[in-house]
C-alpha cells in the first residue's frame, strides 16, 4: 500500500475518532441494542437495525481478510473513494451504499465485472441490511462469473485447461454461497437470503445434503416465507396475502433428488398436515388411504381413478361384476376420495405423495430389505413401464373398461398412453434412485456409466430389467 493510501486511511481513522468522541451517545446509536429485544415484531426489528447510526467497523475486517480464505472478496482499498470514506465516517452508510450500488449496476451493464466485484463488497460492508445487494452478489458470482469463466475471450488462460476451469468455477460458486451465507446471517428476520442460499446450493452447486435442507427449513420458518404482494388498481400501497408453501415443497424436492424416499414422503405428509387450511389435519388413517391411492396408481396407472368413478356410478349388477375383477374396489374408491379431499387442501403435496408411492416406494422397500438386485430390476422396470414390475393390473383394468363399453381401439390407446406416461414421468427420480442402488450394490462405475444416455430424449437406449446384470458388468 503506497504512502498516499496510508495517509488517507489515517485521516479516516482520525475523523472516526473525532466523530465518535464528539457524541457521547454514539455507541448506543451505532449498535441500537433495542433492535435485538426479545419478542420484537420482525418488521420493527428490521427498521431499527437499518437506523443504526454511525460508522461500521466491518470494513477494517474486510481490509485484513486472510488471503487463504478464497471465498471472501477482499475489500479493495482502491475503491475507498472519498465518498465511501464519508459513508464509513458518518451516519450515511445506507445512502452512500445506494450510490455505490448504482455504480456497480452501471459496471455490470457495461460488461466490466472486474470493476463491479469490489464495489459489491463495498456496498454490503457499508449496509449489511441491503438484502438486494447480498442477493445480487451471490447470484452474480454463482451464475454470471461462473459462466464468464468458460468464455475464451474473457479467460483465455482457462480455455485449454479443463481442470483449472473447473476449479475456478467451483470457487466462483463458493464465493457466491459465501455472500448468501453472510447476507442471511446479517438479515435473519427475512426468508429471502436463506432461501437463495439453499436454492443455490441445491440447483447450482448440487449439494444434496442436510445442510441444504437446514437452510431451506430456516427460510420456511420466517414470517414472510409465504407472503405474496398484491397491488390492486388505484391502490397506493401493496397488500400481502399468504401464498403457497413453495419453500416447504422444495424441501420435498431435495429429498426426492438425494434420493431419500422415506424422508420425501414424510415431508409431503407434513405439508398436508401443516397446510390443512380447509379442514383438520389428516389422521394416520387418512394418510394410509392416500398411500393406498399411490399403490393403486402403481398397479393400474392414473386411470384407476376412472374405474373408481365408474364403479361409484354403476348399478348393483355392474358393481358385482367389477368386484369380481377387483375384490378391493371399495378400498380403491375410498382411496380416491381421500386423494380428492387432500388435493383440495394441498394439491402439489398430494400429487407428489401419491406418485412417489406408485413409482419409487417398491424399489426403495426392496433396498431397505437388502434385496438390491430386485430393487434395481424394479426401478428399471418402472422407467420402462414393464408390466412385470409396474402397472401389473393393466389386463384387469382393460376388462373393467370393456364392461364400461369402451371400444377395443380406445382401450389399446389408453394402455399405451398410460405406459408412456409412466416412462416419461419416472426418469429423473428413477435415475437418481438407480444410481444409489448401483453404488450400494458395489458397482460404482455403473452408477453413472449408462445414465448419461438414458434421458427421455433417447428412449431406445433404455436398459431392460433382465439385462441389468449384463449391462452392469464392470471392466
The confidence score (pLDDT) of residue 345 equals 86
The confidence score (pLDDT) of residue 59 equals 43
Q: Is residue 156 part of a domain?
A: no
Report yes or no: 87 and 116 within 8 Å, Cβ to Cβ.
Answer: no
Average pLDDT of the residues in 389-406: 97
Number of helical H runs and strand E runs in the chain: 26, 2
Report yes or no: 433 and 363 within 8 Å, Cβ to Cβ.
Answer: yes
The confidence score (pLDDT) of residue 44 equals 62
Q: Is residue 144 part of a domain?
A: no
- CA dist., res. 138 & res. 143, Å (int): 8
Q: For the chain, how many structural domains are there in total?
A: 2
> What DSSP character marks residue 111?
T
Q: Is residue 193 part of a domain?
A: no
Among 76, 94, 127, give the residue marking a domain's end. 127
Whether pLDDT at 423 is above 60: yes
Task: Name the pLDDT band for 169 (thresholds 50, 70, 90).
Answer: very high
Task: Name the pLDDT band for 408 (thresholds 50, 70, 90).
Answer: very high
Cα dihedral 176, 179, 185, 188, rounded to 10, equals -70
The confidence score (pLDDT) of residue 470 equals 30
Average pLDDT of the residues in 255-282: 89
- CA dist., res. 291 & res. 265, Å (int): 10
Whether pLDDT at 60 is above 50: no
Average pLDDT of the residues in 459-471: 37
Q: Is residue 265 part of a domain?
A: no
The confidence score (pLDDT) of residue 385 equals 96
Say whether the peptide bond before residue 259 is cis (omega within 30 degrees of 0): yes
Q: Is residue 430 part of a domain?
A: yes
Q: Is residue 206 part of a domain?
A: no
The confidence score (pLDDT) of residue 146 equals 93
Which set of grid coordinates corresponds to residue 373? 438386485
Among 93, 127, 161, give the residue marking a domain's end. 127
The confidence score (pLDDT) of residue 182 equals 95
Of 218, 192, 215, 191, the C-alpha closest to 202 is: 215
The confidence score (pLDDT) of residue 267 equals 97
Q: Is residue 106 part of a domain?
A: yes
Read off the pLDDT of residues 240-260 as tens digits, 9 standing for 90 and up.
Answer: 667 788 999 999 999 999 999
**Least confident piece of the model among 22-31, 65-74, 228-237:** 22-31
> What DSSP character marks residue 475?
-
- H helices within 22-109, ranges in order? 26-31, 42-50, 58-63, 82-88, 93-109
Report yes or no: 204 and 143 within 8 Å, Cβ to Cβ.
Answer: yes
- Express as a percent the part of the chain with pLDDT over 90: 56
Contacts of 423 by beta carbon, 8 Å cutoff, 6+ apart: 383, 384, 385, 456, 459, 462
Whether pLDDT at 472 is above 60: no
Of 423, 432, 433, the C-alpha closest to 458 is: 423
Whether pLDDT at 53 is above 80: no
Average pLDDT of the residues in 56-83: 50
Which set of grid coordinates corresponds to residue 9? 486511511
Average pLDDT of the residues in 325-342: 97
> What DSSP character marks residue 154?
T
Average pLDDT, the chain: 81
**Least confident piece of the model among 8-17, 141-150, 367-376:** 8-17
Report yes or no: 35 and 41 within 8 Å, Cβ to Cβ.
Answer: no
The confidence score (pLDDT) of residue 111 equals 75
Task: Name the pLDDT band for 92 (thresholds 50, 70, 90).
Answer: low
Query: What is the extent of the structural domain holding 53?
Result: 1-127
- CA dist., res. 54 & res. 26, Å (int): 7
The confidence score (pLDDT) of residue 94 equals 72
Whether pLDDT at 454 is above 60: no
The confidence score (pLDDT) of residue 3 equals 62
- CA dist., res. 44 & res. 66, Å (int): 36
**Least confident piece of the model among 198-207, 227-236, 400-409:** 227-236
More confident residue, 261 or 239: 261
Average pLDDT of the residues in 160-186: 95
**Which residue is associated with the grid cell 398411500?**
291
- CA dist., res. 222 & res. 42, Å (int): 9
The confidence score (pLDDT) of residue 455 equals 43
Which set of grid coordinates corresponds to residue 466? 433382465
More confident residue, 264 or 58: 264
- CA dist., res. 218 & res. 198, Å (int): 9
- CA dist., res. 392 & res. 381, Å (int): 11
Whether pLDDT at 441 is above 80: yes
Average pLDDT of the residues in 443-468: 49
CA–CA–CA angle 84, 87, 93 (5° rounding): 120
Among 127, 143, 172, give the residue marking a domain's end. 127
Q: Is residue 405 part of a domain?
A: yes
Amino acid at each position: 500500500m503506497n504512502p498516499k493510501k496510508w495517509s488517507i486511511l489515517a485521516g479516516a481513522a482520525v475523523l472516526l475518532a473525532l466523530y465518535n468522541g464528539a457524541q457521547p451517545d454514539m455507541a448506543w446509536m451505532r449498535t441500537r441494542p433495542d433492535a435485538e429485544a426479545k419478542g420484537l415484531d420482525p418488521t420493527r426489528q428490521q427498521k431499527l437495525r437499518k437506523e443504526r447510526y454511525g460508522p461500521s467497523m466491518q470494513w477494517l475486517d474486510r481490509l485484513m481478510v486472510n488471503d487463504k480464505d478464497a471465498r471472501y472478496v477482499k475489500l479493495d482499498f482502491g475503491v475507498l473513494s472519498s465518498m465511501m470514506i464519508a459513508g464509513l465516517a458518518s451516519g450515511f452508510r445506507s445512502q452512500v451504499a445506494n450510490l455505490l450500488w448504482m455504480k456497480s449496476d452501471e459496471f455490470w451493464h457495461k460488461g466490466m465485472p472486474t470493476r463491479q466485484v469490489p464495489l459489491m463488497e463495498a456496498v454490503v460492508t457499508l449496509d449489511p441490511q441491503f438484502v438486494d445487494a447480498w442477493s445480487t452478489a451471490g447470484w452474480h458470482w454463482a451464475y454470471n462469473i461462473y459462466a464468464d469463466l468458460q468464455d475464451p475471450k474473457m479467460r483465455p488462460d482457462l480455455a485449454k485447461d479443463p481442470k483449472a476451469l473447473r476449479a475456478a468455477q467451483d470457487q466462483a460458486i463458493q464465493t457466491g454461497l459465501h455472500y448468501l451465507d453472510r447476507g442471511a446471517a446479517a438479515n435473519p428476520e427475512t426468508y429471502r437470503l436463506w432461501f437463495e442460499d439453499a436454492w443455490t446450493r441445491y440447483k447450482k452447486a448440487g449439494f444434496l445434503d442436510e445442510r441444504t435442507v437446514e437452510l431451506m427449513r430456516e427460510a420456511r420458518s420466517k414470517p414472510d416465507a409465504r407472503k405474496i404482494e398484491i397491488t390492486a388498481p388505484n391502490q397506493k400501497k401493496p397488500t400481502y396475502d399468504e401464498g403457497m408453501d413453495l419453500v416447504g415443497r422444495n424441501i420435498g424436492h431435495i429429498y426426492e433428488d438425494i434420493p431419500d424416499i422415506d424422508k420425501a414422503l414424510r415431508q409431503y405428509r407434513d405439508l398436508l398436515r401443516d397446510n390443512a387450511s380447509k379442514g383438520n389435519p389428516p389422521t394416520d388413517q387418512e394418510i394410509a388411504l392416500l398411500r393406498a391411492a399411490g399403490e393403486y396408481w402403481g398397479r393400474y396407472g392414473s386411470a384407476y381413478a376412472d374405474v373408481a368413478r365408474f364403479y361409484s356410478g354403476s348399478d348393483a349388477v355392474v358393481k358385482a361384476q367389477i368386484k369380481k375383477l377387483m375384490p378391493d374396489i371399495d378400498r380403491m374408491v375410498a382411496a380416491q376420495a381421500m386423494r380428492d379431499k387432500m388435493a383440495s387442501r394441498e394439491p402439489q403435496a398430494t400429487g407428489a405423495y401419491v406418485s412417489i408411492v406408485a413409482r419409487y416406494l417398491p424399489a426403495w422397500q426392496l433396498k431397505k430389505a437388502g434385496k438390491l438386485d430386485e430393487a434395481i430390476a424394479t426401478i428399471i422396470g418402472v422407467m420402462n413401464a414393464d408390466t412385470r414390475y409396474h402397472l401389473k393390473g393393466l389386463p384387469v383394468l382393460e376388462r373393467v373398461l370393456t364392461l364400461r363399453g369402451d371400444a377395443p381401439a380406445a382401450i389399446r390407446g389408453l394402455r399405451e398412453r398410460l405406459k408412456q406416461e409412466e416412462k416419461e414421468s419416472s426418469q429423473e427420480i428413477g435415475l437418481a434412485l438407480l444410481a444409489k442402488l448401483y453404488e450400494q450394490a458395489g458397482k460404482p462405475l455403473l452408477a453413472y456409466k449408462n445414465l448419461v444416455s438414458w434421458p427421455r430424449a433417447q428412449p431406445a437406449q433404455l436398459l431392460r430389467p433382465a439385462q441389468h446384470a449384463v449391462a452392469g458388468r464392470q471392466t
